Structure 1
Amino acid sequence: MDGTLVDSMPTHARSWEAFTRRHGIDMSVAEVLARTTGRNGVECIRELMGADTPEARALELIAEKEAIYRDLFASQFREVRGVSDFIRAARERGIRCGIATAGDRHNIAFTLGHLKLAQAPDAIVGGDEGLPGKPDPALFLEAARRMGAQASQCIVFEDAPFGIEAARRAGMRAVSICTTHTAAELGGAHVIAQAPDFLDLANKNFLETLHA
């Protein structure tokens, strides 16, 4: 979702900067993102504040951080270029579409409320459902299960190394959306395409080539 459907990662970086400053965490934003992107909320807090952080406290803290993010991003919300049209084109070809994200239900509702997709996703799996975050494949496998698809039938669109690795562990093919990382950082034998955004994928006739 973040960095793949919506161009939100710079704002997540700003929210982490505000959060770490507020709580006296001496860590660069780059390191914070490297250690947390793709992980669920409890995992993120424990990465930054210690593995012994009680779950209730971790949930309270990640809720604080994500509220900062939503406040910042609401006025500058933007999708990754071409994603709405790409999803519409995929659906016209009978392709089911789901979201598997480490984001919680509040961020999912926030994102979908602003995106206003013509049709709701066929499955949504969030990071607050008790599943481990990426690079564990659990989120992707559960999304596939809810869509009634085998892992080998699925293609994961991802912007982060943990997500690309999770796709590999799930036995799924992947497409790298290079909004926040380079193509070299998002590579792998299972990666079938790389692009800066979905408009580029559409211009390369990705969906048509896939069906062929």
Structure 2
Amino acid sequence: MDQTSETVISLKEISAAAFDMDGVVTDTASVHAAAWKRTFDDFLLSHTRATGEPFVPFDLRDDYLAFVDGRSRLDGVRTFLSSRGIVLPEEEHPSADPAALTVAALGDRKERYFLDYLRTYGATAYPSTLVLLRTLRKEGIHTAIVSASRNCAAVVKAAGAAELFDVRVDGRDAARLRLPGKPHPALFAEATRRMGATPARTAVFEDSLAGVESGARGGFGLVVGVDRSGQRTELFAHGAGLVVSDLAELTVARRHG
């Protein structure tokens, strides 16, 4: 389904739709970015003091989009640290220095910061996404929320959007089922399976490069990139068939009429 020059979703061609959470359904990408910056800047300052290397802070846009957006928490830690040539142990070892940092410890720190921000500021859903979800459900299209976050249920509930999804596949499912994270298509494939649909008849809505790549790799019928960060060209390059700056730009061609 080639939609590169159209902003129309034909419901004759899809029976299900899977939505990424952060940046597509909820306006929480900035909250994640702030939690990542606090986590990495604290670590990088300590690393600078220990090694004498220059301190280069985490960039809220470029580093976030390139290395952590759309990825699982631990994959985000690994990918960003790798970009700086830093390798940490994966887990705490009983005989290790209690003050030693690991990939898991940094991931836990980011989680705490994110939850602190969420409790303070809450979560907001994009109105245009809610309108699209209601339209799709009214037309009998099954809907799923898909996220690498273990806090998906809490965030979607806080945003008042939980009742708009038939299926939720999140970081807790990924850990339990040992599903690889994006850009692997496993999370979207699991959501599609639970909706009783096939990838070829499922639309994927994503704002991250890793996310649209997962949709393309999984053979999904339509991959919609939501460009909220000025990366339209990159979204197309990673596999989006259609890119919009907001889902309000989409027109739904109903099954009847």
- After TM superposition, the score normalised by the length of structure 2 is 0.71
CA 1:132–1:210: 2 relative to 1, 3 Å: farther
Does structure 2 retain, via aligned residues, the 8 Å contact 1:13–1:33? no
Compare CA radii of gyration and give the structure with the larger one. Answer: 2
Q: What residue number does 1:97 align with?
A: 143
2:213, 2:238 within 8 Å by CA — same for their partners in 1? no
**Equivalent residues of 1:39, 1:132 under 8 A apart:** no
* 33 and 96 in structure 1: CA distance in 2 versus 1, 3 angstrom threshold: same
Ranges in structure 2 where 5+ consecutive residues have no aligned partner: 1-20, 48-55, 94-101
1:119–1:81 distance in 2 versus 1, CA, 3 Å: closer
8 Å contact kept, 1:15–1:68: yes
Q: Is the 8 A contact 1:81 1:198 kept in 2?
A: no
Cα distance in 2 for residues equivalent to 1:88 and 1:152 = 22
Give the paired residue count. Answer: 206
Are residues 1:31 and 2:76 paired?
no
Q: Which residue is 2:154 aligned to?
A: 110
> Once the two structures are aligned, what percentage of the paired residues are identical?
29
- What letter is aligned with 1:146? R
Separation in structure 2 between the aligned mates of residue 195 and residue 167 of structure 1, nearest angstrom:
16
Match of 1:179 in 2: 228
Asked if the contact 1:140/1:167 (under 8 Å) is kept, the reply is yes
More helix by share: 1
Cα shift readout 1:92-142 (whole Å, capped 9, x = no counterpart): 0000011221111xx212211212227252221113423111111111111
> Is contact 1:159-1:181 (8 Å) kept?
no
Q: In structure 1, what is the Cα distance between the partners aligned to 2:216 and 2:28?
A: 24
Does the C-alpha gap of structure 1 residues 157 and 86 become closer, same or farther in structure 2, counting only changes over 3 Å? same
User: Is 1:200 aligned with 2:200?
Assistant: no
Does the CA-based 8 Å contact 1:5-1:79 persist in structure 2? yes
The partner residue of 2:109 within 64, 83, 94 is 64
- Higher relative CO (CA 8 A, sep ≥ 6), structure 1 or 2? 2
Choose which of 16, 19, 24 in structure 2 pairs with 1:4: 24
Structure 2 counterpart SS, 1:70? helix
Give distance in 2, aligned partners of 1:102 and 1:118. 16
Distance between the aligned counterparts of 1:64 and 1:171, measured in 2?
A: 35
Q: Distance in 1 between matches of 2:185 and 2:129?
A: 23
**Alignment partners' CA distance in 1, 2:164 and 2:108:** 25
Of residues 55-64 and 127-136 in structure 1, the stretch that sits farther from structure 2 once superposed is 55-64
Most deviating of 54-63 and 67-76 = 54-63
* 1:18, distance to aligned residue in structure 2 (A): 0.7
Partners of 2:41 and 2:58 within 8 A in 1: no
Look up the SS of the partner of 1:68 in the other structure: helix
Gaps of 5+ in 1: none
1:16 aligns with 2:65: no
Question: For each residue in 1:139-162, what CA deviation from the matched residue of structure 2 results, as whole angstroms up to 9, or x when unmatched?
Answer: 111111111111101110000111
TM-score, normalised with respect to structure 1: 0.84
Q: Which residue of 1 aligns with 2:210?
A: 162
For the 8 Å contact 1:160–1:181, the answer to whether it is kept is: no
Q: In 2, distance between residues paired with 1:211 and 1:176?
A: 26
